[in-house]
Structure 1
Amino acid sequence: KSPLQSNPDGFYGHAIVDLMKRGSKLIVIDPRLTWLASRAEFHLQLRPGTDAAIGLAMLNVVLGEDLYDHDFCEKWVFGVDDLAERVQDKTPEWAENITWVPADVIRSAARAFATNAPSSIMWGLAIDTQQNGAQAGQALLALAAICGYMDVPGGITLSLPSSFMGRWRFETAQFVEPETMAKRIDAKEDHPAYACGPFAHPDEVLTVMETEEPYAFHMAYFYATNPIAPTVYAEPERWYNALMKMDFNAAQDCFMTPTIMGLCDLVLPVSGFAEHDGVVLPHFGRNTHFLGAMNAALDPGEARSDLEIDMLVGKRLNPEAWPWESAEEFFNAQIRTQYDWDFNNLRDMGVFQQNFEYRKYEKGLLRPDGEPGFNTPTGMIEVCSSIYDDFGEDELPYFMEPAMSPNSTPDLYEEYPLVLTTGGRDFVSFHSEHRQMPTLRSITPDPLVTINPKTAAAHGIKAGDYVCIENPLGKCVERARLSNEVPERVIHATHGWWYPEEDGEYPNLFGTWKSNVNKLVPMYKVGKLGYGAPYKNVLAKIYKVDGYEAGSSDPAAYEPPASRGPESMTVGASSEMSYEAKHCAK
């Protein structure tokens, strides 16, 4: 996580600096030596994709040295004994061999976390975008739970069940006929937990588009996304070819993106934030801790907000689902599900800071039935899940090697001896947004791959050189940035790059295929539950080239490697623990 640059989901990174000024100490787990990591008490500079091993080792220390909150665990935590058994042999020395973090650093960080109450944990897409992400998250939350840091001041806060964040999105599912919902591409067999939501699994969507089984898709609608740029999808050339098969593609956006230029028959112009009314609704951890009003200050002309476009389309397709006549009416309806005031009141307030109540589990505020406890089948925080077994998943956290790594694919590692991680945020861009803004582009004019100076010297690379990053899936070119920020065995490539100054027509598409790091990321390498993806940890090699053209490719000529599909998703060893082994009793 890099909160100073990303300000994720309503958590503004400068708050970390404010806390540091008031005496808070940091433990930073990051492959890069970031600004925050350089000022942390402990920097766990791990091999990308091994966060779950760090979590298990820290649990080993806290449980093994009896540093956890016995009273809280006795009353509110389910599965502590089973968790202790799971991590008994997951020592910091075990983790050091996997993560490259010295055992004494892991041990000291775990002790500091457990003995300085309350402590808190925050993570971002660095956890979500790795194959073992669900287990890493489970391990880290278990660490906070056994220390008693849940829903207390300074700990990890929990939202009320009545929070309206996302409620309307799920309520709309009631308008989909059961027989239609049954045709959803849910990937139930391969990704059972993901199938519980009203969404299609993106990996399976690609498979269906390519094979047209069990049916063919005929249209795609792009909403606030630029998928063929290195932002969203792994193996973007496959997505491009699959989407080209559609009869009709449409998009709504503020700018003409590579996706629009390459795929779309229709684009609907979206107004900017200063051109329409709206509600700023942060959802870090689904906690809507404040609401902010966006008041239109400029005339957008023919452009409309995303919501206004949704209404225009929705009323034609299903008027019953869209009873509102304006954006203001929609916001009024949503706000009134929780408050006795409306959008106009929010305009007057500017920002509404919600009240917060701690230890809601003691007062029956977290469960729909009003009983004390947590909203789980056991009524407790489950460090040993009571439902994972239903999905064929291990109920306890475990470490699984990434599908492409020094340990799981040693032969590949010989040819591609660097661990490539991606996705670090930048102060002047958000994914692929803002590349077309001259003032912002002037601050960061080029895509940068960060290389340790010793690694660069071994490859004859100097600062500013064009560097080709390559693995069996593809190649891309970025400019060399030499820094001790990354260790010698790791490189970090920026993502989201395209070149708005270049020709936007096919086949160039604003140069989107030249520095597209997602071409090196495999599809289908997700976790057993259906979550996670290997954007943070693949293998690669680097070499000097003459310019960006060396990374260019023609998507029409793309031929994916032979091994494809969900059957390949289980590549990688799950430590000594199989998925089926050592299930704890419910």
Structure 2
Amino acid sequence: MKSSSRIVKSSCRGCHGVCQVLVHLDGDKIVRVSGDPDSPTSRGFICPKGIAAPDMLYHPDRLKFPMRRIGPRGANEWERISWDAAISEMVDRFDTIRRESGSEYLAVAQGTGRPYTEFTIRFANALGTPNFVNPGHLCYLPRVIASAITMGALPVSDIYEFGGKSPACIINWGCNHVETGASDGMCGSIFKKAAKKAEKLIVIDPRRIGLAEEADHTLQIRPGTDCALALAMIQTIISEGLFDQAFVHDHSFGFDRLAEHVRSFTPEWAEPITRIPSDQIRTVARTYATTKPASIQWGNGIDTSVNGFQTGRALLILMGLTGNIDVPGGNVIWVPPSKIRPKSPLIDMSVAGVQFMPPEKKALILTKGKYPFAPNCHPPTFWKSVITGDPYRVRGIWIVGSNPLLTATQGLTIEKALRDHMEYTVVSDLFMTPTAQLADLVLPAAHWLEQDDVVYMHKIWCVLSRKKLAQIGETRDDRDVIFDVAHRLGLHEAFPWPDRHTYLDWLLEETGMSFDQFKEKNILMSEMRYRKYETDRFHTPSGKFEFYSNVMEHEGRPPMPVYLEPPLSPLSSPELSEKYPFILMSGTKKLEFFHSEMHQIRLLRKMHPNPIVEIHPAAAERCGISDGDWVYVESPYGRARLQARFSEGIATDVVNAEHAWWYPEASPPDYRWKESCANLLYGDDSFDPDTGAEPLKSYLCTVYKDGLERT
């Protein structure tokens, strides 16, 4: 009898890594997913999220059909309807709101960057609403925007050695993708191999992450003070003449002003702020500046701060000062494969056909002029406005792939906004979530094993194929749904293709391949070029790498990095810190989960069954806490119940609370989401003045054992 088993190459989308995988099928049943050893992007690596993909695909709780609310919001009373009825209802309600109030009374919200990102923002722009709500203000986009105004593109650590060199020195700063699997389109296992090869490895993090065990220098920084450390390193490099004179002279703008600006930011100035001895700061600055080529791998720890945008600028300046921009083994600008139409915002934010919103609508509840470099509508401001009506109350929202009650701050505000004030809410997701329980219409989204795609979002140097290999119930790719709604709303100029597969063919048109032909090829790679600025110049107002930012000066913001102390810290709030003696970090990711996703997968929950707060044993002893005790972490704004885990690799006055916990196994409609949600600990009064980012890595809290009153 002929075997019905087969293996198909595809690419995972369990997180931002986009590793290439082998999908094992028995007939039409997917039985296993493994790493692809021939992949140039991941070289056989696969993390638990990828391994668990079949469990997620076939999970009995998957949403399989469109569901319409028939009872009160949050009552978990639904009826199954057809896709035609669901689309008709959406179009009718959205069009009514658009005609009665204007398109700005509609909003589109999404979660972290996923394949739908290319269409959610296109749909919002075509609709004419400024209210595109996503977590970009505190995740990745601050670094993207800082890079754009400093050098015109995002620099990436050159760990794939296209130029024949691996970084001789690596600074891993506020990033832990070695332990989370991947980040920003880069495979953590490839980075780990590059770190092992480096002559010098420097790890900068408030926690002693696993990579620190192999580091030559580990700087355990006080949370939220990264900008001060970077400024002191810049001052050292300039004052000791360790900068790359050729790059600075020929390709940079504003060096003299930068040198004067940082004159007082010595390592001695930074030591009491950062808690890093001045001699260590000098040593690390010298090591980075003199060990060539060198690379800085940054992460989300940079963004989640009231000083995040300025920190990103300071790290870019370090890259430029040392001449490590776009050189083999440095921080490089990826070259995209030729003849592929770009859909990544890192290449081109204005893909053909997009209708951008009318200028008179741009400054409504977007940021109200407060955050000049906010990438989208500022989420805390948006959700508050739905309740207060200031400056107006959005009437309808489509939430795609997002669970903001858990993953955003101000979850109680969002709950009230959706339950009591939003007229019409649509949620597209894989599972019923606490957020979806407050919707009027819930749409079943396709898993990545149910999608065809040209994968081209975070990875720029290559384009991968993804193949639809399964169909569960009536799930649909979010982009297909957006196409249907957009066409029926008359948004043909922004969506000129009849369907998404025609769009995929259009992306590949100039290669001479159709999407079906590309699926067999699996990958297209670029031919990397280095030092492109020598012929192309930098895409900045000066045409050079800008130490002094002309764009920031134009916006009335500091054109060179300045340090801002976190507003709730032992230094800025000493009286409050007596009551809340711990510095609170959260937002750190785990290998088993992706934000609030995958908590219902048995394999992953067996690996990581409970929400954890890391605490130093000496601190726990002072609080009467034993390893494994359930405790409350409480801030001035809320509290969360988590399980204490002792860690010697964290300061005695710092705790780290895990991100986005809920209990899908608990009873609907709330799934105990308020019990262990670390994001409920944050207020809404402290934001990065440039991007509106929130201080998820530097707050104040106390910790006490469950069952005891706080002392």
Match of 2:630 in 1: 466
Residue 13 of structure 1 aligns with an amino acid whose one-letter code is: G
Q: Is the 8 A contact 1:282 1:289 kept in 2?
A: no
Q: For residue 404 of structure 2, what is the aligned residue in structure 1? A: 227
Task: Report how far residue 185 of structure 1 moved.
Answer: 2.3
Match of 1:577 in 2: none
Tell me if 1:354 matches 2:515.
Answer: no
Partners of 2:229 and 2:342 lie apart in 1 by 33
Query: Structure 2 CA distance, aligned partners of 1:490 and 1:129?
Result: 16
Aligned-partner SS, 1:363: helix
* Distance (whole Å) between structure 2 residues aligned to residue 428 and residue 217 of structure 1: 36
Q: Distance in 1 between matches of 2:699 and 2:423?
A: 35
CA pair 291-425 structure 1, distance change in 2 beyond 3 A = same
User: Measured at CA, do residues 163 and 310 of structure 1 come closer, stay the same or move farther in structure 2, by a change above 3 Å?
Assistant: closer
Q: Which residue of 206, 219, 226 maps to 2:383?
A: 206
Structure 1 unaligned blocks of 5 or more: 365-372, 552-586
- Paired residue for 2:484? 312
Structure 2 equivalent of residue 86 of structure 1: 261
Which of 578, 581, 590 is 1:426 aligned to?
590
1:200 offset after TM fit, Å? 2.2
Tell me by how many angstroms 1:278 deviates. 1.6
Offset from partner CA, 1:30-60 (integer Å, 9 cap, x none): 1100110121111111111111011001101
Is structure 2 residue 271 aligned with structure 1 residue 96?
yes
Match of 2:372 among 185, 189, 192: 192
> Which of the residues 520, 523, 543 maps onto 2:681?
520
After superposition, the Cα gap between the structure-2 partners of 1:441 and 1:27, relative to the gap in structure 1 and judged at 3 Å, is: same
Quote the Cα distance in structure 2 between the aligned partners of 1:403 and 1:414: 15
SS of 2:311's equivalent in the other structure is helix
Kindly state the Cα deviation for residue 276 of structure 1 after the two structures are TM-superposed: 1.9
d(CA) in 1 for partners of 2:331 and 2:630?
43
Indicate whether 1:260 and 2:445 are aligned: no
Deviations 1:229-271 (A, max 9, x none): 1x2x22211121122211111111111111112x111111011
How far, CA to CA, are the matches of 1:25 and 1:317 in structure 2? Answer: 57
> Does residue 326 in structure 1 map to residue 326 in structure 2?
no
Q: Does 1:387 align with 2:551?
A: yes
Amino acid at match of 2:277: P
Question: SS of the counterpart of 1:258?
Answer: coil
Q: 1:469 to 1:347 in 2, by over 3 A?
A: same
Matching of residue 72 in structure 1 with residue 247 in structure 2: yes
**Counterpart position of 1:367:** none
SS at 2:296's partner residue? coil
Matched residue type, 1:504: P
Q: TM-score, normalised by structure 2?
A: 0.71
Say which SS state the counterpart of residue 175 (structure 1) adopts: coil
Q: Deviations over 1:90-127 (max 9, x none)?
A: 11121110011122221111111000111011212111
CA deviation string 1:307-351 (max 9, x = no partner): 1111121111134122223322112223447x4544233211112
Q: Hey, what's the Cα distance between the residues in 1 that align with 2:260 and 2:348?
A: 42
Structure 2 CA distance, aligned partners of 1:47 and 1:219? 42
Q: Which residue of 2 aligns with 1:48?
A: 223
Is 1:111 equivalent to 2:286 in the alignment? yes
Query: Deviations along 1:416-471, whole A, 9 cap, x unmatched?
Result: 11101012221110111110101111100000000000000010100110111111
Q: Report SS of the residue matched to 1:228.
A: helix
Distance across 2 between alignment mates of 1:360 and 1:291: 21
In 2, the alpha carbon distance for the partners of 1:24 and 1:328 equals 47
Distance 2:352 2:358 in 1: 13
1: CA distance, partners of 2:540 / 2:227: 23
Secondary structure, in 3 states, of the residue corresponding to 1:214?
A: coil
- Equivalent residue number for residue 249 of structure 1: 425
Deviations 1:170-192 (A, max 9, x none): 44885356267346423252112
Residue 292 of structure 1, CA deviation: 1.1
Given candidates 413, 416, 424, the residue that maps to 1:238 is 413
1:17 to 192, 206, 221: 192
Following superposition, the deviation at residue 209 of structure 1 comes to 1.3
Q: Which shifted more, 85-94 or 134-143?
A: 85-94
Does the Cα contact within 8 Å between 1:6 and 1:425 map onto a contact in 2?
no
Quick check: 1:163–1:288 contact (8 Å CA) kept in 2? no
Conserved 8 A contact 2:568-2:698: yes
Distance in 1 of aligned mates of 2:514 and 2:539: 29
CA root-mean-square deviation: 2.1
Equivalent position SS for 2:470: coil
Distance in 2, matches of 1:186 and 1:502, equals 36
SS of the residue corresponding to residue 63 of structure 1 reads helix
Give, in whole Å, the separation in 2 of the partners of 1:333 and 1:389.
Answer: 40
CA drift of 1:149 comes to 0.6
Q: Structure 1 residues 443-452 or 7-16, which shifts more?
A: 7-16
Q: Is the 8 A contact 2:342 2:348 kept in 1?
A: no
- Cα deviation, 1:152-184, whole Å, max 9, x if unaligned, reads 111111246985413786448853562673464
Q: Is the 8 A contact 2:635 2:682 kept in 1?
A: no
User: For 2:671, which of 510, 531, 539 is the aligned residue?
Assistant: 510
Identity %: 35
Cα pair 1:77 1:382 within 8 Å, conserved: yes
More strand by share: 2
Q: Distance in 1 between matches of 2:478 and 2:226?
A: 37
SS of the aligned residue for 1:536 comes to coil
Matched residue of 1:37: which SS? helix
Identify unmatched segments of 5+ residues in structure 2: 1-174
Query: Once structures 1 and 2 are overlaid, which stretch shifts more, 159-168 or 8-17?
Result: 159-168
Aligned-pair distance for 1:86? 1.5
Aligned pair count reads 528
Q: Is 1:536 equivalent to 2:701 in the alignment?
A: no
Work out the CA distance in 2 between the residues paired with 1:78 and 1:410. 40
Query: Take 2:513 and 2:234, find their aligned partners in 1: how far apart are those partners?
Result: 45
Partner of 2:567: 403
| One-letter amino acid of the structure 2 residue matched with residue 490 of structure 1 | V
Question: TM-score, normalising length from structure 1?
Answer: 0.86
Deviations 1:212-240 (A, max 9, x none): 123221112111111001x2x22211121
Distance 1:210 1:401 in 2: 31
Does the CA-based 8 Å contact 1:134-1:531 persist in structure 2?
A: no
Paired residue for 2:642?
478
Q: CA deviation at 1:532?
A: 2.2
Counterpart CA distance in 2 for 1:131 and 1:336 is 44
Structure 1 pair 134/393, CA: closer, same or farther in 2 (3 Å)? Answer: same
SS in structure 1 at match of 2:332: coil
Distance 1:177 1:98 in 2: 43
Give yes or no for contact 1:61–1:107 (8 Å, CA) kept in 2: yes
SS at match of 1:121: strand
Instruction: Please give the secondary structure, in 2, of the residue aligned with 1:98.
Output: helix
Q: Which amino acid aligns with 1:476?
A: A
Match of 2:133 in 1: none
**Aligned counterparts of 2:215 and 2:254: Cα–Cα separation in 1:** 32
Q: Aligned equivalents of 2:425 and 2:635: distance in 1?
A: 31
